[in-house]
Structure 1
Amino acid sequence: MTGNRGRWPKIDEERGIEDVTLLILEWLGEQGVNATIRMDAERLADNAPAWTFAASGGPLALGTRADGRTVRQCMSVALTRLRDAGLSVPF
């Protein structure tokens, strides 16, 4: 499964990556990549980066992980790592 399936809305430049995170996960799935994002309440309580993104499979030779204190921070790092791994995520 590859390609755009017509589900991508126009990006509102005033809104952030938080608004398209689920669309990014869906796009990754269409590329054969297993991906997840989660929030860990224990790490939040410890004032540690509570958001984690993880992806593996498909065109990724190695899995990747990104952590952040906010969804924006976590996904920004994740997109950079995915692009460095050769995936041109359309965001």
Structure 2
Amino acid sequence: MTNAKGRWPKVDLESGVEDAVLLILEWLGEQGVGAMIRVDAERMQEGRPAWTFAAGGGPLQGGMRADGASVAQCMGRALFKLREAGLAVPF
């Protein structure tokens, strides 16, 4: 982790990606990538995937989006797409 500012706690990777979401967002910001995760209550009530991750800027060519029925599914897809785009997310 480059430019770590001493705030990276140990993450229990067995407990799921949900525990690392804020760390991932912070790391992306430090790389110059704007990112967010949101939940859409209307889509949740309709039984559609309600979680969305969106990112763009910095070394990320163009924007990207990942959706999922749970935060874990959404972030799992997002991490896969980020790594495909060449961002070695350290979580």
- TM tier relative to shorter chain: over 0.9
The answer to whether the Cα contact below 8 Å between 2:11 and 2:19 also exists between their aligned partners in 1 is no
Percent sequence identity is 67
Q: Structure 1: which 5+ runs fail to align?
A: none
Q: Which residue of 1 aligns with 2:3?
A: 3
The alpha-carbon deviation at position 14 of structure 1 amounts to 2.7
Following TM superposition, the consecutive aligned residue runs of length 4 or more in structure 1 with deviations greater than 6 angstroms are none
Partner of 1:53: 53
TM-score (normalizing by structure 1): 0.94
Question: TM (normalized to structure 2)?
Answer: 0.94
Match in the other structure for 1:44: 44
Q: Tell me the C-alpha RMSD between the 2 structures.
A: 1.0
Q: Which residue of 1 aligns with 2:89?
A: 89
Distance 1:7 1:76 in 2: 23
Give the CA deviation at 1:60.
0.4
Q: 1:36 and 1:13 mapped to 2: Cα distance?
A: 21
